[in-house]
Amino acid sequence: MRHPRRWPSLASLLLLLATPSAQVTADRPFITLASTTSTEQSGLFRHIVPQFTARTGIEVRVVAVGTGQAFAIGRRGDADALLVHHRAGEDAFVAEGYGTERRDVMYNDFVLVGPRADPAGVAETRSIQDALAKIAASESAFASRGDDSGTHRKELQLWGMAQIDPAGQWYRQLGSGMGPTLNTAAGMDAYVLTDRATWLSFGNRQNLMILFEGEASLFNPYGSIPLNPARFEWVKADLAQQWHAWLVGKEGQAAIAGHHIDGAPLFFPMSEDRAGRVE
């Protein structure tokens, strides 16, 4: 039969392709970090992780998901550390014994973004509660992430503070990450609450612009939590601790501060460990 001669070349080709990428097998030590989509999409990790790896030789593999999912990953012990932005959730996570401790790492803020025409008249308001009240009253389209992320939890908290229960055709729950939510909001000229970092790196703004910002309640702090080795024996506790310490230490904080888009910093370092001001 003619065909047997074909087999060796085909087989070796397939075998070559079949073995998943050698670059992945861990000759280098690495940790798995569950973080949020907003952090990743802002490009922060691309900026700071190489500096950490250069210092310690440890790779950081970032799984970027919504905050709710990040906590779920942590509770299952599928990561070595978390970097998320929901204080209440972080405290509970540590209190329940899943994490060792929680440290402040950085902060930025949330901004309320909306269509240039501003049908609800948000730009003139003096507080975020008023802004939200005007949106609800005018039933202007509002795009909510609806995905139990840090941003979504913050959004619900703000509605709560304004004592409004958002419901109706105008309030669109999308169940998406920040990027897709912004895409949808841009497509329907809707108001949307977003973190500044994602907004600064978002490329599809169309008619949207920042209409409200700067209030204290829009403060968005990020916390780092190493997973508890007593709870999950397989966790790379030592490596995770090195990452955690580096993040809140001088070098990590400087790295965070150095991450800009178009000259504007996306995150502000916040750890008590850093010595002095950093530019």
Give residues in contact with another protein (CB under 8 A).
1-3, 6, 10, 14, 17-21, 23-24, 32, 37, 41, 45-46, 61-65, 75-78, 176-180, 182-183, 186, 201-205, 232, 234
Q: How far is the CB of 176 from another protein (least distance, A)?
A: 8
Which of 61/250 has CB closer to another protein?
61
Q: Which helix (H) or strand (E) holds 260?
A: strand 260-261
List the beta bridge partners of residue 110.
195
Which of 14/117 has CB closer to another protein?
14
Strand runs (DSSP E) across 17-70, as ranges? 30-36, 59-65
- CA-based nearest residue to 107, from 275, 272, 235, 276: 272
SS3 66: coil
Q: How far is the CB of 117 from another protein (least distance, A)?
A: 20
Q: How far is the CB of 168 from another protein (least distance, A)?
A: 26
Q: How far is the CB of 63 from another protein (least distance, A)?
A: 4
- CA-based nearest residue to 65, from 3, 190, 151: 151
Output 42-45 pairs: Cβ under 8 A, ≥24 positions apart: 42/197, 42/198, 42/200, 42/201, 42/259, 42/261, 42/266, 42/267, 43/201, 43/259, 43/261, 43/266, 44/197, 44/256, 44/259, 44/266, 44/267
Instruction: Tell me the C-alpha distance between 86 and 151, whole Å.
Output: 8
Which of 128/193 has CB closer to another protein?
193
Which of 49/105 has CB closer to another protein?
49
Which of 26/216 has CB closer to another protein?
26
Q: Which residue has the tokens 């809140």?
A: 248
Instruction: Tell me the C-alpha distance between 178 and 148, whole Å.
Output: 12
Q: How far is the CB of 42 from another protein (least distance, A)?
A: 9
List the beta bridge partners of residue 265.
260
Which of 76/124 has CB closer to another protein?
76
Which of 89/177 has CB closer to another protein?
177
Q: How far is the CB of 270 from another protein (least distance, A)?
A: 25
Q: How far is the CB of 1 from another protein (least distance, A)?
A: 6
Instruction: Tell me the C-alpha distance between 103 and 19, whole Å.
Output: 40
